Amino acid sequence: MPVWHEITRPWVEQEKLVVLGITQEQHPERCRLFAQWKKFDWPILHDPINVLQPLAVPILVAIDEHGVVRSTRPEAETFEAEFLDRTFSPPAGVAEKPAEARLPDLQSLRREALQSRSAVAWRRLGDATVLWAPTEKINDAIDAYMRAVRLAPDDGDAHFRLGVCYRMRYESSQRVATDFQSAVDQWTRAREIEPNQYIWRRRIEQYGPRLIKPYPFYDWVSEATDQIAARGEKPVALRVELSGAEIAHPSRTFVAEGGSVKSPDPTGRILRDTGRLIVAEVAVVPPRIKPGESARVHVTMRPSDAETAHWNNEAEPLRLWIDTPDGWQLQQQLLTAPQGNKPETAEPRHFEFEVRAAANARGPTQLGAYALYYICEEVGGMCLFRRQDIPITVTVDE
């Protein structure tokens, strides 16, 4: 798109052309940051659920003054002569003044879905809710898509959009601990239904292991923010922090940690926190692999809101230890999370690691993982050293 932006700029300045973009990005502020970096000065609409249904991006569409698509593959060398300098006649039956756009009536769409009991009607309600209703209504969108997939289990669009909504809820105050994994599961099902859908495939690769990545998805962010700041501008802030998977470069070989690392609690004597003080969330991407393939595991540790728990940053940092069955390989066996910048903080802390299945692995396999941390029951309250055993299951298909 940067190339076409430069090509079309003179035509936009001459008022011969209006440019409009549509992005299928899950997080709109990431697109806004890229647009700021590249100095795009035209509107970009957000289509997180892929309503347009392109199999791949980018695509270029030339639309005339009557709203008629004249080309879906314009070429820069002939664009001016074949499109801009031509006069198109309005097609027969097209009103001179287009109908006024209106927001969808969610109540009417819901009544229609309840009466028709069709997957299409429920998907239509889900689309309208996620695109036009307040973010607090994300549960309504999830409910609509769940009804759609129950009625039409092979509706890949409904599965993909349900996954988008699970991920949206995971990043909201309405979070459910399993939402990230649920999103990955739905995206995976959508890809199984339509393996040629580029956007669905990329959404899984975005969070997946390096062996399946075609390129680093967001390694440009650091360069973009630095260059924008150097211009004297304030870079668009990212609402959701980038994960390690999103900036990782692809690799064609699995590199396991070398050397000998000892378990920090080999006899299991440290007192357990069963999730009362710290809530552990796990997502495995992709959710199912074949023997010898790798998966990326995301583990997020959140202090409990109910217990007003806080990390104790004046003691040893949060650590995660992982054991694997014979024949399996780990990228790293002992991981350490960064400390907070105050004596006590309550931010979520995130681990990512890659695991490779044994050549003879079959079925669900559990990794022996546990976390060690110092946690305070409340601000200024009693601080404890605890261990939490974390079930991590990797499923290996035949």
pLDDT at 309: 92
Is there a contact between 335 and 307 (Cβ–Cβ < 8 Å)? no
pLDDT at 24: 93
Tell me the pLDDT tens digit for each residue of 109-127: 999 999 999 999 999 999 9
Q: Which two tokens stand for residue 238?
A: 């990212």
**Complete DSSP assignment for 151-190:** H-TT-HHHHHHHHHHHHHHHTSTT--TTHHHHHHHHHHHH
Q: What mean pLDDT value characterizes the chain? A: 93
Strand order in the sheet with 349-356: 278-285, 294-303, 349-356, 329-330
**Complete DSSP assignment for 127-156:** HHHHHHS-GGGHHHHHHHHHHHHHH-TT-H
Please tell me what DSSP assigns to residue 15: T
Tell me the pLDDT tens digit for each residue of 51-69: 988 888 888 999 998 889 9
Distance, in Å, from the CA atom of 273 to the CA atom of 309, rounded to the nearest integer, reads 12
pLDDT at 89: 86
Is this model's pTM higher than 0.85 or not? yes
Three-point CA angle 66, 72, 76, nearest 5°: 100
Distance, in Å, from the CA atom of 317 to the CA atom of 311, rounded to the nearest integer, reads 9
How many residues are recorded in the chain? 398
